[in-house]
Amino acid sequence: MTVLIVIIITMISTTLGGLFALRLKDKLHLILGFSAGAVLGVALFDLLPEAIELTKGSYSIQTLSILIALGFSIFMVLDRFFSMHGHSDDHCENPSHDGKLGASALVFHSFLDGFGIGLAFKISPAIGWVVALAVLTHDFSDGVNTVNMIIKNKGQRKSAIKWLMADALAPAVGVVVTYFVTVSESVLGLILAFYIGLFLYISASDLIPESHHRHPAAWTTVSTIIGMVVIYIAIQFAK
């Protein structure tokens, strides 16, 4: 029942992000700034300590560090290849030439988000909810980016909505897939380390730049710090 609630909320979060992008995109920088802090907070305050605890006695800190770097690097390569957050305005040095290709990459990324939530709940409900909170804030921005990917590349509103629906359903599919996957605690720790790299990249290279794009950095920076603080407090209460 708990996982079903999370699935529904992730779908709503992604859909709301897309609808806001269609109507109120210029007002989203504070939300995206908060999302950046939330994702960063989960990576540093929750996933990292949990990965160390789960792999204690089985794998070294160095192994975890390599996986974090690997997760960061793989997502960076995918991001560059698919131009996932490429701005198509005249001043952008990394325009997205194919909106549908970029949107499909975002849908796959949302699937991985759901997969991460499912694995986190396998560790414990508390960890699951904290990871879900970070993913939910990020799913909102995913909805924004998916719609923008189509609209900025001269796609029609109808097409953008279809891609938004696919992106909203993708996390649910990811969560369901974890029910058919059984891994040991130590392997779960390794997977979490990989996800830390993904979360660090998402925050540093996607959410923070997007929140500052064409907006003053001061308030978005405050929003990012607030996001980190909120996640830290949530983790303390979840323990």
What is the separation of C-alpha 114 from the centre of its chain, rounded to a whole number of angstroms?
Answer: 10
- Crossing angle for the helix pair 29-41 and 185-201, nearest 10 degrees? 150
Copy the structure tokens of residue 109: 């990324």
Domain ranges, residue 39:
2-20+28-238
Confidence (pLDDT) at 210: 63
- 74, 96, 93: which is closest to 84 by C-alpha? 96
Confidence (pLDDT) at 26: 60
Euclidean distance between the first and the last CA atom of the chain, given in angstroms as a whole number: 21
Helices (H) and strands (E) in the chain, counts: 10, 0
Confidence (pLDDT) at 202: 77
CA distance 159 to 146: 11
Confidence (pLDDT) at 69: 96
pLDDT digits (tens), the chain, 239 positions: 666 777 787 778 777 777 776 666 566 677 777 777 877 887 888 889 888 988 998 999 999 999 999 999 988 887 777 554 444 444 444 544 445 665 676 677 678 778 878 888 887 787 788 777 777 766 666 676 666 666 655 666 777 788 778 888 888 888 888 888 887 888 888 988 988 888 888 777 766 766 665 566 677 788 888 888 887 887 777 65
Close Cβ partners of 184 (under 8 Å, ≥ 6 residues apart)? none
CA distance 84 to 102: 5
Confidence (pLDDT) at 97: 44
Close Cβ partners of 89 (under 8 Å, ≥ 6 residues apart)? 95, 152
Confidence (pLDDT) at 66: 96
Q: Under a CB-based contact definition with an 8 Å cutoff, are residues 83 and 106 in contact?
A: no
Confidence (pLDDT) at 96: 45
CA distance 186 to 170: 27
* Number of structural domains in the chain: 1
CA distance 162 to 231: 32
Q: Is the pTM of this model over 0.75?
A: no
* pLDDT, tens only, 31-49: 777 777 877 887 888 889 8
Confidence (pLDDT) at 1: 60
CA distance 140 to 38: 12
Mean pLDDT of all residues belonging to the chain: 75
Confidence (pLDDT) at 89: 47
